[in-house]
Amino acid sequence: MKDEIQLRDHIDGRRDEFVDYFKNLVSQPSISARDEGVTECAEMLAGMLTELGATSRIMPTKGQPVVYGEVSSGDPDAFTLLCYGHYDVQPPEPLELWDSPPFEPEIRDGRLFGRGTGDNKGQLLAHAMAVSAWVETSGAPPINVKFVFEGEEESGSPNLGDFVAQNRELLAADLVLISDGTMHPSGAPLISLGNRGVIGITLRARGADRDNHSGNKGGVAPNPAWMLIHVLARTVDPSGRILVDGFYDHVRSVGDTDLQIISRLPFDPEEFGATMGLPRVDMSKEEYYRKIMLEPYFNISGLKSGYTGPGSKTIIPSEAEVRIDIRTVVDQSFDDLVPKLKRHVAEIDPRVEVLVRGIGGMEPSRTPADHPAIAPIAEAIERARGTAPYINLSSGGSLPNSVWPGVLGVPHVGIPYANADENNHSPNENMDLECFHMGIQTSARVFEALARARRAGTL
Ligand SMILES: [Zn+2]
């Protein structure tokens, strides 16, 4: 284990140097939303990758460029890890709420404050610095490492899918590693294996071409509010089960490994309830996590019809509308579910229109918990940090990760490095420098663990 200690000490010894890189990168604005400084930032980042021991190049897309880099282990059979991150940032406004200017990074209380610190510059740099530590101590990392750092994640990654599709050979890898988002609020490390998808739907019903008197026309004029209510009531039952024919066809069954992982997650009904403004969560831990991570959800986010102002207005409304977002789980897809939903609604009431909001929604993706890379990664994180990571089978929210399995055919794993209170997208965004430093240590150990698993033939 001499090597491990040597590597750790080497990274410890370069703390100040690494923080200087970090500050420089944050000081370069890169606001993709209004094309401010993004190209300059790409150039700066590519330069840093070269200095840290990788080859690098700036690759154009239809939008902002991708900074691509790679470093070879020198072994043709080595494991290849593709590290994805994004160097663009959210607009910093409102400026008056920042305690120091967003692009003049400042260290206070052991944290670096500035736009883009946690989301995502500090996290992507950690991978590059881990590579540098390996290069300096051993001549090369024990695995091949590729970097894809995109410049328009904060604008919805509109060109990432095309970029990956056009560069399949260049990007070929065994695993994609994504460090974005935050660790567990307790400070414990996390492994994130996936996310739900989302499909936005509007159901709209129309009756007469105007609102009608509910006395004079009640019973003869059609009421679109009732049309929608009947459709909705036959679409989801009171337990939340979705009644659309074939809706669950592709939902994976829950495995033993999944249940074991869930059993190790924290669960406090009162504390979890408080995060939603409820006195408590009225379900078991297993049910709670299954519902958030592994099951789809059909949500009504808004209902609109008729008159709800002061006093009363006795009308039959002419129109009713409901906004729906369907949270999907892995192997469900937009192309499969939308036609099924349209058929379902048409069978109940053909007068109700099904309108899709957004093109294609966002697809779910999830790496199976028993994928052979997960155990060595979890072990490496525990070695680096002294704390075992929680494994998040899937986050409830939606992310554009399906591009990795969907377009590149490679599974993905997330290991967030930022502190839970990083304030990303908000004023006073920051990254705890201990988190940054531990991120570098963690990446360095993860590279080693993947190399060892490859040598042992398990990966
Ligand atoms: Zn962000």
pLDDT tens digits, 196-223: 999 999 999 999 999 999 999 999 999 9
CA separation for the pair 211, 67 (Å, rounded): 57
410 alpha carbon – ligand 1 mean position (Å):
23
- Which of 332, 347, 362 lies at the terminal end of a domain, its last residue? 362
pLDDT at 412: 98
Q: How many angstroms separate the alpha carbon of residue 414 from the centre of ligand 1?
A: 15
Gap from CA of 419 to ligand 1 centroid (Å): 14
Cβ neighbours of residue 376 closer than 8 Å, sequence gap 6 or more: 449, 450, 452, 453, 458, 459
Ligand 1 center–CA 189 separation, angstroms: 19
Q: What's the CA-to-centroid distance between 88 and ligand 1, angstroms?
A: 9
Model confidence at 359, pLDDT cuts 50, 70, 90, reads: confident
Task: Specify if 401 maps to a domain.
Answer: yes
List Cα–Cα distances, 306 to 316, 345, 352, 368, 417, in angstroms.
7, 22, 16, 47, 49
The predicted-structure confidence for 410-448, as pLDDT tens digits, reads as follows 999 999 999 999 999 999 999 999 999 999 999 999 999
My answer on whether 235 and 332 are in the same domain is yes
Cα–ligand 1 centroid distance for 154 (angstroms): 5
Cα-to-centroid distance, 117 and ligand 1 (Å):
10
Interval 48-85: pLDDT, tens: 999 999 999 999 999 999 999 999 999 989 999 999 99
Q: How many A from CA of 139 to the centre of ligand 1?
A: 34
Q: What's phi and psi for 299, nearest 5 deg? A: -105, 140
Ligand 1 centre distance from Cα of residue 180 (Å): 8
| Terminal alpha carbon distance of the chain | 22
Beta-bridge partner residues of 307: none
Q: What is the rounded CA–CA span in Å between residue 424 and residue 285?
A: 29
Gap from CA of 187 to ligand 1 centroid (Å): 20
User: Does 284 reside within a domain?
Assistant: no
What's the 297 CA to ligand 1 centre distance in angstroms? 24
Provide the b/e sequence for 114-133 (b: ≥16 CB within 10 Å): bbbbbbbbbbbbbbbbbbbb
340 CA distance to ligand 1 centroid (A)?
Answer: 33
272 alpha carbon – ligand 1 mean position (Å): 24
What's the 97 CA to ligand 1 centre distance in angstroms?
18
User: Which two three-digit tokens encode residue 98?
Assistant: 């920042």
* Sequence letter at residue 258: D
Determine the distance separating the centroid of ligand 1 and the alpha carbon of 228, expressed in angstroms: 36
Give yes or no: residues 150 and 225 share one domain: no
Select from 75, 134, 121 the least CA-distant residue to 444.
134
Q: Are residues 67 and 151 in the same domain?
A: yes
User: 179 and 37 in one domain?
Assistant: yes
Ligand 1 ion: Cβ-proximal residues, 5 Å cutoff = 119
From the list 216, 368, 218, 204, the residue with the least C-alpha distance to 294 is: 368
Tally of domains within the chain: 2
CATH number for 437: 3.40.630.10
State in Å: Cα 232 to ligand 1 middle. 34
Measured CA to CA, the distance from residue 154 to residue 64 in angstroms comes to 11
- State in Å: Cα 427 to ligand 1 middle: 13
Same domain, 111 and 163: yes
- 90 C-alpha vs ligand 1 centroid, how far in Å? 6
Phi/psi-derived region of residue 356, left when phi > 0, alpha when psi is between -120 and 50, beta in every other case: beta
Cα of 426 to ligand 1 centre, how many Å?
A: 10
Pull the structure tokens for residue 306.
């008729």
Say which residue the tokens 């360095």 belong to.
444
Q: Looking at the structure, do residues 17 and 111 belong to the same domain, yes or no?
A: yes
Q: Is the pLDDT of residue 174 over 90?
A: yes
- Check pLDDT > 50 for residue 366: yes
- Using the mean position of ligand 1's atoms as its centre, give its distance from the Cα of residue 13 in Å: 30
Q: Is residue 76 part of a domain?
A: yes
Residue 242 pLDDT exceeds 60: yes
Determine the pLDDT at residue 1: 47
Domain span at 24: 2-193+367-455
Sorted by sequence, the CB contacts under 8 Å of residue 457 that are 6+ apart come out as: none
Closest to 197 (Cα-Cα) out of 362, 324, 359 = 362
Classify residue 269: in a domain, yes or no: no
313 falls within a domain? yes
136 Cα–ligand 1 center, Å: 32
Q: Do 71 and 12 belong to one domain?
A: yes
Q: Give the CATH number, domain containing residue 357.
A: 3.30.70.360
Task: Write down the residue that tokens 């890379």 correspond to.
Answer: 373
Average pLDDT across the chain, whole number: 96
Centroid of ligand 1 to alpha carbon of 12 (angstroms):
28
Segment 99-122 shows an average pLDDT of: 98
Do 95 and 217 have their domain in common?
no
3-state SS string for the chain? CHHHHHHHHHHHHCHHHHHHHHHHHHHCCCEHHHCECHHHHHHHHHHHHHHCCCEEEEECCCCCCEEEEEECCCCCCCCEEEEEEECCECCCCCHHHCCCCCCCCEEECCEEECCCHHHHHHHHHHHHHHHHHHHHHHCCCCCEEEEEEECCHHHCCCCHHHHHHHCHHHHCCCEEEECCCECCCCCCCEEECEEEEEEEEEEEEECCCCCEECCCCECCECCHHHHHHHHHHCCECCCCCECCCCCCCCCCCCCHHHHHHHHCCCCCHHHHHHCCCCCCCCCCHHHHHHHHHHCCEEEEEEEEECCCCCCCCCEECCEEEEEEEEEECCCCCHHHHHHHHHHHHHHHCCCEEEEEEEEEEECCEECCCCCCCHHHHHHHHHHHHCCCCEEECCEEEECHHHHHHHHHCCCEEECCCECCCCCCCCCCCEEEHHHHHHHHHHHHHHHHHHHHHHHCCCC
CA of 424 to the centre of ligand 1 (A): 6
CA–CA separation, 444 and 6 (whole Å): 12
Instruction: Tell which of 344, 362, 380 closes a domain.
Output: 362
Q: Is the domain of 349 the same as that of 414? A: no
- Cα(212)–Cα(428) distance, rounded to whole angstroms? 53
- Beta pairing partners, 122: none
Q: Give the pLDDT confidence score for residue 2 in this predicted structure.
A: 56
Measure the CA–CA gap between 295 and 196, rounded to whole angstroms: 9
**What is the CA(195)–ligand 1 centre distance, in A?**
16
- Domain shared by 312 and 438, yes or no: no
- Do 338 and 441 lie in one domain? The reply is no
Tell me whether residue 58 is exposed, middle or buried, using C-beta atoms within 10 angstroms of its C-beta: 0 to 12, 13 to 18, 19 or more: middle
| Pair (63, 186) in one structural domain | yes
The token pair at 432 is 């705890």
pTM: 0.93
Question: How far away, in angstroms, is 72 Cα from ligand 1 center?
Answer: 30
| Residue 223 belongs to some domain of the structure | yes
CA of 1 from ligand 1 middle (Å) equals 38
- 199 CA from centroid of ligand 1 (Å): 21
Average pLDDT over residues 232-261: 97
Residue where one domain finishes, among candidates 347, 362, 377: 362
The Å distance, Cα 335 to ligand 1 centre, comes to 27
The whole-angstrom separation of Cα 192 and Cα 388 is 13
Using the mean position of ligand 1's atoms as its centre, give its distance from the Cα of residue 87 in Å.
10
Q: What is the mean pLDDT of residues 373-392?
A: 96
